Amino acid sequence: MFTLLKTEKKARLGRFDTVHGVIYTPVFMNVGTCAAIKGGVSPAELAEIGCQIELSNTYHLHIRPGDKVIREMGGIRRFMNWDGPVLTDSGGFQLFSLAPLRRIKEEGVYFASHVDGRRIFMGPEESMQIQSNLASTIAMAFDECVENPAPYEYAKESSERTIRWLIRCRDELRRLNSLPTTLNPNQLLFGINQGSTYHDLRIDNMKAIRELDLDGYAIGGLAVGEEAEVMYDIIETVEPYMPTDKPRYLMGVGTPVNILEAVWRGVDFFDCVMPSRNARHGTLFTWGGKITLTNEKYTLDPRPIDEGCSCPTCRRYSRSYLRHLIKAKESLGMRLAVTHNLYFYNELMRKIREAIEGGYYENFYNKYRNILGERRED
């Protein structure tokens, strides 16, 4: 159940009670695509750096080790020894990225595994069955993500198919949750709004899926190459038609500035591989902007990444040492950098929640939207 605790204009402070624990929103989901954070941060360490909910991917876990293996191990949370909630993405976006290897039909998608080339079919029912085997807290509906911009007629056809697929997802998950052998009979379902960058398609889609009274709603099909202003425009277009008493999730987003902007427009949930991916290549986020540790000027820098940061990395190690580790391609360097960036994102969300609760989010937003996306000079 989602409880809206406070608002400041469109920014929302909420509490989402699930069978696996409470999630306070706005929240950033730490992405462990294959049930692990790339960069070597363990589930136990995620809890220590403020992670409330972890995200794993249906497609990748179906390919390996196999969702039936994870079911036999007691579900995704027991498999990875993570106590908190887990959201599983349906696999729709991954199938979008496999465009040369897939064929979309009304019944679902036929595609070739990116690992060994074997032919696989996934439709709404199969996606729900896999996610039920994973026993995640929140399952995402199976959808089609189209490129931006997409031809209007194809975007319309795809959006309408996504609605039909969503109804099939809802019906199948209801069936699975009613079975005595289901690992998590309280599994929740979020629907996904699609429609490319066309306002009428987005609105029509949102009006249709909100009638299904699902547990939450996502805005999908963004962060796939369009300009940030286009993304913000779509959020502003869709948000008035989203239920106020359900969580709102902007999929695959994004930078710290993207998050600030989307919270200001009424979004609650976020996920992105950016903090871990950037960290592995030496780009770190700080409250004074981004730094690239591979720059020569950090060779003899004794300071932590961010002097105002309390993460395990900043409490113990210098920029000089981290630069050495990353330049030498030592795995410890990636691990320490990823730890910092994930801590930063989780702390950003904590400060956002604190600002909404205190009634000063607008000031917080106006201050940091002009800082966090810039490159730090010192």
286 in the same domain as 228? no
Whole domain around residue 337: which residue ranges? 279-368
Residue where one domain finishes, among candidates 254, 272, 290: 272
**pLDDT for residue 304 is more than 80:** yes
pLDDT at 149: 86
Catalytic site includes residue 204: no
pLDDT category, 101, cuts 50, 70, 90? low
287 in the same domain as 177? no
88 in the same domain as 57? yes
- How many whole angstroms separate alpha carbon 65 and alpha carbon 349? 32
Residue keyed to tokens 């961010």: 306
184 in the same domain as 45? yes
223 in the same domain as 80? yes
166 in the same domain as 61? yes
Q: How far is CA 283 from CA 69, 286, 295, in A?
A: 36, 10, 10
Q: Could you tell me if residue 18 is inside a domain?
A: yes
Give the percent of the chain with pLDDT over 90.
Answer: 89
Q: Could you tell me if residue 375 is inside a domain?
A: no
**pLDDT for residue 242 is more than 70:** yes
122 in the same domain as 89? yes
**Catalytic residue of the set 89, 143, 301, 306:** 89
For 263-290, how does the pLDDT look when each residue is reduced to its tens digit (9 = 90+)? 999 999 999 999 999 999 999 999 999 9
Residue where one domain finishes, among candidates 245, 272, 299: 272
Q: Could you tell me if residue 356 is inside a domain?
A: yes
297 in the same domain as 254? no
pTM for this structure? 0.97
Catalytic site includes residue 215: no
340 token code pair:
């910092």
Residue 105 vs residue 81, higher pLDDT = 81
If one counts the domains in the chain, the total is: 2
302 in the same domain as 267? no
Q: Could you tell me if residue 199 is inside a domain?
A: yes
- How many whole angstroms separate alpha carbon 23 and alpha carbon 353? 12
Specify the DSSP class assigned to residue 292.
E
**Catalytic residue of the set 67, 143, 271, 301:** 271
**pLDDT for residue 98 is more than 70:** no
pLDDT at 96: 64
CATH (domain of 141)? 3.20.20.105
pLDDT at 372: 97
164 in the same domain as 116? yes
Answer yes or no: are the C-beta atoms of 220 and 249 closer than 8 Å. no
Residue where one domain finishes, among candidates 243, 272, 301: 272
191 in the same domain as 136? yes
Q: Could you tell me if residue 65 is inside a domain?
A: yes
252 in the same domain as 284? no
Q: Could you tell me if residue 374 is inside a domain?
A: no
